[in-house]
């Protein structure tokens, strides 16, 4: 007997791209307009750091160094989060970041009957990415707001290197799965969002 089709109330989208590509901003806008929940492992982890939880103390030096948090920590975090949702209408921002994470996520979503619909890759030249991140830090400092530890040129460049070495293989993974959609991430936020809308039809 054929497996039942994906329930119409489930929708899972992944945003891919290097740090500074605008994943968070665009994912948040799409989530608001399509009735989805944006899941940012970065936000969740930074919240733990700010609250000085056991997990926060464990990952704080990792985040400050611009390195990737171990897979087993992130996968457990996602499993715990998804288990509390009645309907999987979500956008992943910043997860998965490695092929093993993607494979673990696929297994989890298969169990839940909500496979990934699309993996959207935002493409932006490296030097523009570095400029965006440094400017984000400058604006936060000028406004008297806390500056994220990763909003410096040194850490930004290190994160770009980590991305190229460890995260970029996800592009090939989702391409081979037939779920990759490449989107030009340059230009105004409205321009980029318009391109994203053209590739994703909310269910």
Domain boundaries, given as residue ranges, for the chain:
11-197
* Residue 132 is assigned to a ligand binding site: no
* Residue 41 is assigned to a ligand binding site: yes
Reading across the β-sheet that carries 37-40, which strands appear in turn?
Answer: 37-40, 89-93, 11-16, 116-123, 180-184
* Residue 199 is assigned to a ligand binding site: no
pLDDT of residue 6: 44
pLDDT of residue 7: 44
**Three-state secondary structure of 108-161:** HHHHHCCCEEEEEEEECCHHHHHHHHHHHHHHHHHCCCCCCCCCCHHHHHHHHH
* Residue 96 is assigned to a ligand binding site: yes
Residues 6 or more apart in contact with residue 106 via CB below 8 angstroms: 115, 116
Q: Which CATH architecture has domain 11-197?
A: 3-Layer(aba) Sandwich (3.40)
* Residue 69 is assigned to a ligand binding site: yes
Ranges of the chain whose pLDDT falls below 50: 1-7, 202-203
**Which residues on adjacent β-strands are paired with residue 160?**
none
pLDDT of residue 203: 45
* Residue 131 is assigned to a ligand binding site: no
State both tokens at 54.
């056991």
* Residue 159 is assigned to a ligand binding site: yes
* Residue 113 is assigned to a ligand binding site: no
pLDDT of residue 201: 61
* Residue 125 is assigned to a ligand binding site: no
* Residue 180 is assigned to a ligand binding site: no
């Amino acid at each position: 007997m054929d497996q039942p089709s994906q329930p119409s109330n489930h929708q899972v989208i992944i945003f891919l791209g290097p740090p500074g590509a605008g994943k968070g901003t665009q994912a948040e806008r799409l989530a608001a307009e399509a009735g989805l929940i944006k899941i940012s492992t970065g936000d969740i982890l930074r919240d733990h750091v700010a609250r000085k939880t056991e997990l926060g103390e464990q990952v704080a030096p990792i985040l400050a160094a611009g390195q990737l948090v171990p897979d087993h920590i992130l996968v457990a975090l996602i499993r715990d989060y998804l288990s509390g949702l009645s309907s999987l209408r979500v956008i992943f921002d910043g997860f998965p970041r490695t092929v093993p994470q993607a494979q673990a996520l696929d297994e989890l979503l298969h169990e839940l009957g909500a496979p990934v619909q699309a993996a959207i890759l935002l493409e932006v030249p490296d030097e523009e990415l570095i400029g965006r991140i440094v400017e984000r830090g400058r604006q936060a400092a000028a406004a008297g707001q806390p500056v994220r530890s990763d909003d410096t040129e040194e850490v930004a460049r290190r994160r770009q290197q980590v991305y190229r070495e460890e995260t970029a293989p996800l592009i090939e993974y989702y391409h081979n799965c037939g779920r990759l959609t490449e989107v030009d991430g340059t230009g105004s936020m409205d321009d980029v969002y318009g391109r994203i809308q053209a590739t994703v039809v909310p269910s």
